[in-house]
């Protein structure tokens, strides 16, 4: 099975959720494709911009949890692909050099849709 995750937020708790969901799905031998769009692209910069405004985000930050460890573990499995939205990259002035090594490519929504066609899709906003 393949799972598509659309991440449209850079709020710490939402990024953490996307990472945990990706890791669990990958550990169950599923292919996972994350499409980071709108503010979600900011989470995957070399110097990530993560918002901490909700209570859960504050607790995660206070505990010092590195939410990117979930993504790294899922990537090691070979089952996770992270794609940055070309439109969001354009409006935020981002190119491949500004993204962390976690990002595999910059693509449009059409490419992502074709990649996950017929798959389960969840959205994290």
- What ranges do the domains of the chain cover? 2-124
User: Pseudo-torsion of CA 120, 102, 51, 64, nearest 10°?
Assistant: 110
Name the residue among 102, 113, 120, 111 with its Cα closest to residue 40. Answer: 102
Can you say how many angstroms the Cα of residue 12 is from the centroid of all Cα atoms in its chain? 11
From CA 102, how far away is CA 122, in angstroms rounded?
Answer: 20
Q: What is the pLDDT of residues 25-76, one digit of tens each?
A: 999 999 999 999 999 999 999 999 999 999 999 999 999 999 999 999 999 9
In which residue are the tokens 């709108």 written?
A: 38
Q: What is the pLDDT of residues 97-125, one digit of tens each?
A: 999 999 999 999 999 999 999 999 999 99
Provide the pLDDT for residue 87: 98
Where do the H-state alpha helices sit in 1-125? 12-27, 55-63, 68-76, 86-91, 109-115
CA distances 108 to 36, 73, 74, 100, 114, Å, are 10, 26, 23, 18, 10
CATH code reported for the domain at 2-124: 3.40.1260.10
Provide the pLDDT for residue 105: 98
Type and span of the H or E element at 2 = strand 2-7
Name the residue among 22, 15, 5, 66 with its Cα closest to residue 44. Answer: 15
């Amino acid at each position: 099975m393949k799972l598509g995750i659309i991440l449209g937020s850079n709020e710490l708790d939402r990024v953490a959720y996307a990472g945990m969901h990706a890791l669990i799905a990958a550990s169950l031998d599923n292919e996972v494709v994350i499409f980071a769009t709108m503010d979600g692209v900011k989470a995957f910069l070399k110097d990530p911009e993560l918002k901490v405004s909700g209570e859960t985000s504050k607790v995660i930050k206070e505990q010092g949890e590195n939410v990117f460890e979930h993504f790294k573990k899922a990537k090691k499995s070979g089952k996770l692909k992270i794609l940055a939205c070309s439109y969001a990259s354009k409006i935020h002035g981002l190119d491949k050099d500004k993204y962390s090594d976690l990002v595999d490519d910059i693509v449009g929504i059409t490419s992502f849709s074709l990649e996950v066609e017929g798959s389960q899709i969840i959205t994290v906003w």
